[in-house]
């Protein structure tokens, strides 16, 4: 075992000192994961609200309540900006639209007998559907201000009285209508006075341990939700996409495959290099069995593949990927590593020179990646490609990784990809080892 | 120490080694000489157990086959190709190969230090091999073969492509090993190396040993006569005493006893302006046995 360990350490050390090789094993997959993860950002279902700018030029209590109500709806993501910046951000397409609350908004907002306050709205012309939705949300928030007014009976009474005095002196109101309106104002004043008394009594009771109540709100309509959650076939693209919890869920398993393929190609080439540079002759002369030599290579490749997966999982987790089952992920990683150790052994006997093995190994890698989810994510593959992908060990590797990271596969469901990986690894390892043993005689 | 009997190896229709037999005694330095393609490296590779022979027997230390662990522990090999990991340092190369020979702890450290000193690379031990000159690599190649302190050492063209300083360094180290009683099997193209280092030499060609003996015996047997070239001071009135006709004042003749012949002429009144005696050497033996035609 010490001999195998010495050879493993030597091979890992050599791998670590080959900067170009290391780039393809670690650097390239990281770049790829981040690049494609950023591209798949639109699949991130975490933010489905409208992003709008709000320009509060009134800065009154009512304008603040309006913005608060808009934000509370949960359908709008508000950024408070200056007017110019808000306009620019919408023009650049960074925000759906902007809402400006002009000065004087607070004076008439929520007062039913006054003309409604002006609210200025600008929406990206390319997003007409959102414009309608935004206007509805604005109207709803403005409506809540009326309820807010009634929550403060003293302030409301002073508004009512001022309105009554103004009405009494108005010449432009019909003489038949004026007494009716004055009666309504008086009744409202009496109602607010009574409400103020009730509120005061409840406040005193509240200080004795009983809760004080608010004026009941009112709604034009009560909206109740009907469950119309879309239902998809279990393995359909739509169903799978809905399982995604992070934009990195697809890009990281996809990128890991490139690192794993680079490991396999790198170690396959290193076997031929040993033969060419004569170190294999030294190993053959040393008191080391052929099995130990091959085990050393296999162990180094296994450790490298596991390290690549661990590193990528750590990085993905740091960015926001959340593997659902770390235990199944570890089992999947071990099976993938075993599979690619076998593939590495087979690759190493494809040719007799470094150039031949390198060319053939990367050619095979490209095919495996192309049909195995290394280029086009398995989720988005057209059906003919999905059928072809069954022949690529990369596909089963991606499936095992995705299964434990975000697809939520059970151990039973993972058995098929894991069994395929072990079977492919065993066959390749046997053929590769046999041919390699003959070649080194 | 090493016993080889009727060793044979073929690659398809090409016979690389054809019934080679010899013995190498303990502490002996044995040279294997031959032109390119003579079968030297194939023979060495079979002796170290890296290549399976088609026929014949090889015994190391009297009983063990070279593929057995006991024999492998006793053997060290410096291959003709520089067999080193270029991306590892000299110390890492030595340590790795020493571990394969089951060295560890203080003994490992001691042997690595010794091998590094032997290669003259103490100051460059932590540098990667790819930064070394050809001579440094060749010295390290030898040191790796010796790091586990083998009793039998196979050196396959150990001085190919090195500068005179490194070559001299390697010679000195091999002579030290010889003095320490190590058994050495040495293949080379350089006749003066074999003449200087080897107790016995086998001349090989086309897979066969053409002759095998001590250097002097081989020269006596195959080297022919010495050649004497002289320039006389003045012309002779009577040239009949000369062993060959004069060409102006120049004289050239061959003799089995050149010194006696020169003494005879001198006492007869022949005055020499210049005198050169070319004694036959191993190269003469080599060319006599293997021919002068080009080998590719």
β-bridge mates for residue B75, sequence order: B152
pLDDT in tens, A176-212: 888 888 888 888 888 888 888 887 887 777 766 555 5
- DSSP conformation letters of A270-285: HHHHHHHHTHHHHHHH
Query: Hey, is the C-beta of A2 within 8 angstroms of any chain B C-beta?
Result: yes
CB contact under 8 A, B73 and A284: no
* pLDDT over 70 at A358, yes or no: yes
CB contact under 8 A, A281 and B45: yes
Which residues have CB under 8 Å from B208's CB, separation 6+? B18, B19, B20, B39
Which residues have CB under 8 Å from A321's CB, separation 6+? A246, A248, A249, A252, A313, A405, A406
Tally: H helices and E strands in chain A: 18, 4
* pLDDT over 80 at A145, yes or no: yes
- Which H or E run contains A99? strand A97-101
Q: State residue B64's pLDDT score.
A: 72
* pLDDT over 80 at A235, yes or no: no
Task: Nearest by CB to A285, from B48, B86, B96: name it.
Answer: B48
pLDDT in tens, B141-194: 999 999 999 999 999 888 888 888 888 888 888 888 889 889 999 998 788 888
* pLDDT over 60 at A372, yes or no: yes
- Separation CA B214–CA B275 (nearest Å): 29
Q: State residue A44's pLDDT score.
A: 46
pTM to 2 decimal places: 0.69
| Terminal-residue alpha carbon distance, chain A | 23
CB contact under 8 A, A287 and B79: no
Contacts of A291 in chain B (CB under 8 A): none
Tokens of B57: 């027997």
Among chain A residues, CA nearest to B104: A2
Q: State residue B110's pLDDT score.
A: 94
Half-sphere exposure of B117 toward its Cβ, with a 13 Å CA cutoff? 6
pLDDT band at A218 (very low <50, low <70, confident <90, very high): low
Give the 3-state secondary structure of residue A94.
Answer: coil
Q: What is the ipTM of this complex?
A: 0.80
Contacts of B144 in chain A (CB under 8 A): 282
- Separation CA B38–CA B189 (nearest Å): 11
pLDDT band at A216 (very low <50, low <70, confident <90, very high): low
pLDDT band at B296 (very low <50, low <70, confident <90, very high): low
Q: State residue A46's pLDDT score.
A: 46
CB A98 within 8 A of CB A122: yes
Q: State residue A349's pLDDT score.
A: 82
Min CA distance, B180 vs chain A (Å)? 22
Q: State residue A365's pLDDT score.
A: 87
Q: State residue B295's pLDDT score.
A: 60
pLDDT band at B288 (very low <50, low <70, confident <90, very high): confident
CB contact under 8 A, A6 and B96: yes
Q: Which runs of consecutive H residues, i.e. helices, occur in A18-126?
A: 19-22, 28-39, 61-72, 83-91, 105-108
Number of neighbouring beta carbons within 10 Å of residue B10: 15
Output A215 or B183, whichever has higher pLDDT. Answer: B183
CB contact under 8 A, A282 and B144: yes
Query: Hey, is the C-beta of B227 within 8 angstroms of any chain A C-beta?
Result: no
Among chain A residues, CA nearest to B81: A278
- Separation CA A249–CA B148 (nearest Å): 52
CB B28 within 8 A of CB B218: no
CB contact under 8 A, B50 and A13: no
CB contact under 8 A, A282 and B73: no
Q: State residue B85's pLDDT score.
A: 94
- The predicted model gives A75-104 an average pLDDT of 89
- Separation CA B251–CA B261 (nearest Å): 13
Output A350 or A209, whichever has higher pLDDT. Answer: A350
CB B87 within 8 A of CB B134: no
- Which H or E run contains A258? helix A248-277
- Separation CA B67–CA A40 (nearest Å): 58
Query: Hey, is the C-beta of B101 within 8 angstroms of any chain A C-beta?
Result: yes
How much of chain A exceeds pLDDT 90, in percent? Answer: 23
Min CA distance, A8 vs chain B (Å)? 11
- The predicted model gives A317-330 an average pLDDT of 89
Picking from A284-288, B107-111, B112-116, which range would have the lowest pLDDT averaged per residue?
Answer: A284-288
Q: State residue A272's pLDDT score.
A: 86
How much of chain B exceeds pLDDT 70, in percent? Answer: 98
Min CA distance, A284 vs chain B (Å)? 6
Task: Nearest by CB to B88, from A14, A285, A288: name it.
Answer: A14
Q: State residue B107's pLDDT score.
A: 93
DSSP label at residue A71: H
Q: Given the DSSP bridges, would you call strands B200-205 and B208-214 parallel, antiparallel or unpaired?
A: antiparallel
Contacts of A19 in chain B (CB under 8 A): none
CB contact under 8 A, B77 and A288: no
Mean pLDDT of chain B: 88
How much of chain A exceeds pLDDT 70, in percent? Answer: 92
pLDDT band at A225 (very low <50, low <70, confident <90, very high): low
Number of neighbouring beta carbons within 10 Å of residue B87: 16
Measured over the CA atoms of residue A192, residue A196, residue A201 and residue A205, the dihedral's sign is positive
Q: Which runs of consecutive H residues, i.e. helices, occur in chain B?
A: 40-47, 69-74, 90-100, 105-118, 134-146, 164-179, 191-197, 215-222, 258-267, 282-290
Task: Nearest by CB to B100, from A13, A17, A288: name it.
Answer: A288
Q: What is the dihedral of CA A227, A230, A234, A235, to 10 degrees?
A: -160
Rg, C-alpha atoms of chain A: 35
Q: State residue A136's pLDDT score.
A: 85
Candidates A75, A82, A74; CA nearest to A100 is A82
- Domains by residue range for chain A, with CATH: 2-41+245-439 (no CATH), 50-225 (3.40.1710)
């Amino acid at each position: 075992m010490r001999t195998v360990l010495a050879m493993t350490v030597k091979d890992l050390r050599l791998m670590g000192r080959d900067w170009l090789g290391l780039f393809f094993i670690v650097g390239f997959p990281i770049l790829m994961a981040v690049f494609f993860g950023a591209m798949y950002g639109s699949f991130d279902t975490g933010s489905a609200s409208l992003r709008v700018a709000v320009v509060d030029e009134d800065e009154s209590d009512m304008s603040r309540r309006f913005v608060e109500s808009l934000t509370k709806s949960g359908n709008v993501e508000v950024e408070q900006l200056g007017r110019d910046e808000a306009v620019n951000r919408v023009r650049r397409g960074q925000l759906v639209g902007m809402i400006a609350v002009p000065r004087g908004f607070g004076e008439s907002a929520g007062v039913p007998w006054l003309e409604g306050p002006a609210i200025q709205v600008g929406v990206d012309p390319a997003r007409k559907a959102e414009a309608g939705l935004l206007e509805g949300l604005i109207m709803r928030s403005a409506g809540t201000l009326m309820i807010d007014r009634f929550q403060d009976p003293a302030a409301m009474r002073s508004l009512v009285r001022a309105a009554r005095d103004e009405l009494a002196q108005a010449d432009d109101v019909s003489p038949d209508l004026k007494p009716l309106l004055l009666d309504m104002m008086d009744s409202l004043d009496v109602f607010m006075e009574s409400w103020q008394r009730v509120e005061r009594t409840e406040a005193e009771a509240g200080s004795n341990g009983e809760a004080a109540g608010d004026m009941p709100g009112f709604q034009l309509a009560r909206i109740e939700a009907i469950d119309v959650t879309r239902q998809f076939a279990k393995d359909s693209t739509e169903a799978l996409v809905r399982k995604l919890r992070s934009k990195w869920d697809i890009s990281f398993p996809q990128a890991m495959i490139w690192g794993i393929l680079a490991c396999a190609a790198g170690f396959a080439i290193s076997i031929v290099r040993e033969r060419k540079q004569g170190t294999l002759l030294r190993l053959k002369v040393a008191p080391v069995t052929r099995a130990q030599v091959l085990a050393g290579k296999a162990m180094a490749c296994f450790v490298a593949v596991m390290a690549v997966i661990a590193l990528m999982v750590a990085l993905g987790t740091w960015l926001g990927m959340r593997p659902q089952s770390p235990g199944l992920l570890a089992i999947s990683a071990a099976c993938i590593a075993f599979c690619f150790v076998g593939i590495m052994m087979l690759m190493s006997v494809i040719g007799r020179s470094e150039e031949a093995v390198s060319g053939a190994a990367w050619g095979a890698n490209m095919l495996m990646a192309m049909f195995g989810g290394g280029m086009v994510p398995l989720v988005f593959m057209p059906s003919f490609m999905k059928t072809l992908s069954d022949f690529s060990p990369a596909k089963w590797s991606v499936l095992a990784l995705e299964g434990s990271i975000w697809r939520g596969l059970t151990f039973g469901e993972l058995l098929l990809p894991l069994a395929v990986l072990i079977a492919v690894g065993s066959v390749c390892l046997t053929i590769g080892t046999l041919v390699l043993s003959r070649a080194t005689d | 120490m090493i016993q080889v009997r009727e060793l044979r190896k073929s690659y398809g229709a090409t016979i690389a080694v054809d019934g080679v037999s010899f013995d190498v005694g303990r502490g002996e330095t044995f040279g294997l000489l031959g032109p390119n393609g003579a079968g030297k490296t194939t023979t060495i590779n079979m002796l170290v157990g890296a290549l399976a022979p088609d026929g014949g027997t090889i015994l190391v230390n009297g009983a063990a086959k070279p593929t057995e662990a006991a024999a492998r522990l006793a053997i060290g090999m410096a291959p003709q190709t520089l067999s080193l990991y270029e991306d590892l340092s000299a110390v890492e190369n030595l340590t790795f190969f020493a571990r394969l020979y089951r060295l560890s702890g203080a003994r490992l450290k001691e042997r690595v230090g010794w091998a590094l000193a032997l290669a003259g690379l103490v100051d460059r031990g932590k540098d990667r091999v790819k930064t070394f000159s050809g001579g440094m690599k060749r010295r390290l190649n030898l040191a790796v073969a010796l790091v586990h302190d083998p009793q039998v050492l196979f050196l396959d063209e150990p001085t190919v492509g090195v500068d005179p300083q490194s070559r001299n360094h390697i010679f000195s180290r091999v002579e030290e090993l010889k003095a320490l009683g190590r058994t050495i099997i040495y293949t080379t193209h350089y006749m003066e190396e074999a003449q200087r280092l080897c107790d016995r030499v086998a001349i090989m060609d086309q897979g066969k040993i053409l002759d095998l003996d001590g250097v002097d015996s081989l020269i006596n047997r195959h080297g022919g006569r010495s050649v004497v070239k002289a320039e006389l001071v003045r012309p002779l009135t009577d040239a009949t005493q000369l062993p060959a006709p004069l060409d102006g004042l120049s004289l050239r003749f061959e003799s089995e006893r050149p010194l006696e012949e020169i003494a005879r002429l001198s006492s007869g009144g022949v005055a020499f302006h210049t005198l050169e005696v070319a004694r036959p050497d191993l190269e003469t033996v080599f060319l006599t046995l293997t021919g002068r035609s080009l080998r590719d």
